[in-house]
Structure 1
Amino acid sequence: MDIKLSELPLRQDGSIYHLAIHPEQLADIVLLVGDPGRVPLVSQRFDIIETKRSNREIITHTGRVGNTRITVLSTGMGTDNIDIVMNELDALANVDFETRTLKKEHRTLKIIRMGTCGILQPDIPINSLIASQYGFGFDGLLQFYQHDSSIYDDLVDSFIEKTNWGERLPHPYCIPATPALLSQVAFDMVQGITASAPGFYGPQGREIRTPLAFPEMNKKIEQFRYKDLRITNLEMECSAIYGLGHLLNHETLTVCVGVANRVTKEFTSNYQIHMDQLIDTVIERITK
């Protein structure tokens, strides 16, 4: 398949359009952070930094910890940015930029998001490290791609029924984390379903001046149960990472610091200590 210039644009230096890096500058292990300022906080733990690139809110550092090569990249906020990042990461790994054709052998990336989230259960303490067993998308992104999520239709159908999910809202979807990454990195963290919203205010139940269309949404999400699963936290990226990772055959995991408890109305006083702990934990466990 010859991929046309309009469908996969490159920059004048041959790097991919938004991430602005070349295929050889991408490691097999990719750490995603939302905040561009968090990239150097991660890469300062590298023994050596080979590459530093930036374009808009996307900053990329690639280096090594011991013999393990790692890329850390900032995505900015939201599943729309994740659509760009995941597709371009896959293109860097699996498209020959010279011939603009798919490579014969698939390269699988290990993609781990390290971020912050809001907690949706009263018994989970502020600053907890939370791993996403499942990404539950309220964003609608995956509905633009051909996919078969029938294995989780019962969970989604149960959620729609029990929460009286509004017909005007995007149809939810549910995708699991990669089990091997979950057990390797997050075996001692809080685990559950992570809901991904397409915004920070209204889509996460925050009302300032504009009334909410579904003011009881967070309460219904908090109370939802499916077998032994519950929705533990809420953020804005996980579902798209899991969904596109699944479609593109990459390994994915999201781990977050819970900075706000939306039920108890608490907010962290200093999450950076716990973010440092999360970064150290992830790097230590992926380099073993």
Structure 2
Amino acid sequence: MKISESDLIINPDGSIYHLNLLPGDIADTVITVGDPDRVGEVSKYFDEIEFKKGKREFITHTGYVGKKRITVLSTGIGTDNIDIVFNELDALVNIDFETREIKKSLTSLNIIRVGTSGAVQPDIPMGTILASSYGLGMDALMNYYLQQLSDDEQLLLDDIKTHFSKLNNINPYLTAADDGLLNTIGKDMVHGITITAPGFYAPQGRIVRAKNAVPDFIGLINSFKRNQHRITNLEMETAGIYALAKVLGHKALSVNAILASRVKFEFSNEPNKIVEKAIKTVLERI
């Protein structure tokens, strides 16, 4: 079946609607970052930059580290943007733009998020580089997609739902990292469950002026434990990345530069150095 023009929007120049990229513009290895300014902080380590493109908050650089072709792309903040980015990345490699049909031979991308995060456990210091073993979504993205969970994912999610049962109108979803990426790029890093929140302030337990509906949200989060599993950090994209990657047949890993301790109420005075360490580590291991 052909995919309709309203379901898959292609620009007059043949590029995908939001990302402004052509099929062939992206490498099989993609690094995603939230901040558009961070794209250049990654690509400055490339031995060769093939091209740079941008539209809205979506900035893309594709180039080479040695003989390895890599794309680095900014997603902006939140899983609503992840929905756009991942569907369009998938379309670029798995849909024939001329016929508007799904290709018979599908491509599986390796997608590594390099982002910032706050730790919710007191023994995880600022400056830690953490690999998310699972992404736990507190947003609504996966209410709109069919998702098949493994037995391990389902058992862990059931325990999480029991733990968070007093949170009204929240339907958490859970997806594991790709094992291969977790055991290579994430090797020797701290591992843990990463919560993806639908906002930065009250949805992450911050208190400024508006009153929070969930008292002691951080305490509720960091008190969850099941066997070796615990929730380690909070951010705004990982769960959507993991879930959509799995639905679409791609491999994903989220690497988190820990800039804040949410239990000690501290924020790093050297955030750029921590992010740079995460970038260098990922590029070296790719």
Which TM-score band (shorter chain)? over 0.9
Tell me the residue number matched to 1:44.
44
| Distance apart, 1:278 and its partner CA | 1.0
1:136 and 1:52, CA in 2 relative to 1: closer, same or farther beyond 3 A? same
Kept in 1: contact 2:259–2:274 (CA 8 A): no
| Counterpart-to-counterpart distance in 2, 1:20 and 1:195 | 30
1:126-182, Cα deviation, whole Å (9 max, x unpaired): 11001000001111211210112262232222222223341222x101100001001
| Distance apart, 1:51 and its partner CA | 1.3
Q: Secondary structure at the match of 1:147?
A: coil
Tell me the residue number matched to 2:191.
191
Q: Secondary structure at the match of 2:24?
A: helix
1:8-42, Cα deviation, whole Å (9 max, x unpaired): 10111110000001011110000000000000111
Tell me the residue number matched to 1:160.
161
What is the TM-score with the length of structure 2 in the denominator?
0.98
1:62 matches 2:62 = yes
| Counterpart-to-counterpart distance in 1, 2:236 and 2:127 | 18
* 1:275 partner letter: V
User: Where does 1:44-123 land on structure 2 (aligned, <5 Å)?
Assistant: 44-123=44-123
Percentage identity across aligned positions?
49
Instruction: Identify unmatched segments of 5+ residues in structure 1.
Output: none
| Counterpart-to-counterpart distance in 1, 2:278 and 2:160 | 30
Q: Secondary structure at the match of 1:24?
A: coil
| Counterpart-to-counterpart distance in 2, 1:225 and 1:27 | 38
What is the TM-score with the length of structure 1 in the denominator?
0.97
Instruction: Identify unmatched segments of 5+ residues in structure 2.
Output: none
Question: Which has the higher mean CA deviation after the structures are superposed, 143-152 or 70-79?
Answer: 143-152
Kept in 1: contact 2:258–2:274 (CA 8 A): no
1:42-98, Cα deviation, whole Å (9 max, x unpaired): 111111111110000110000011110000000000000000000000000100001
| Counterpart-to-counterpart distance in 2, 1:48 and 1:126 | 33
Kept in 2: contact 1:149–1:173 (CA 8 A): no
| Counterpart-to-counterpart distance in 2, 1:223 and 1:195 | 13
| Counterpart-to-counterpart distance in 2, 1:9 and 1:165 | 41
| Counterpart-to-counterpart distance in 1, 2:163 and 2:89 | 37
Tell me the residue number matched to 2:24.
24
| Counterpart-to-counterpart distance in 1, 2:83 and 2:163 | 29
Question: Which has the higher mean CA deviation after the structures are superposed, 119-128 or 154-163?
Answer: 154-163
* 1:83 partner letter: D
Kept in 2: contact 1:114–1:278 (CA 8 A): yes
| Distance apart, 1:125 and its partner CA | 0.5
| Distance apart, 1:239 and its partner CA | 0.3
1:181 matches 2:181 = yes
| Counterpart-to-counterpart distance in 2, 1:165 and 1:257 | 30
| Counterpart-to-counterpart distance in 2, 1:188 and 1:127 | 15
In the alignment of these two chains, the number of paired residues is: 285
Runs of 4+ in 1 over 4 A off after TM superposition: none
Tell me the residue number matched to 1:5.
5
| Counterpart-to-counterpart distance in 2, 1:27 and 1:63 | 8
User: Where does 1:192-231 land on structure 2 (aligned, <5 Å)?
Assistant: 192-231=192-231
* 1:158 partner letter: D
* 2:103 partner letter: K
Cα RMSD, aligned residues only? 1.0
| Distance apart, 1:258 and its partner CA | 0.6
* 1:27 partner letter: A
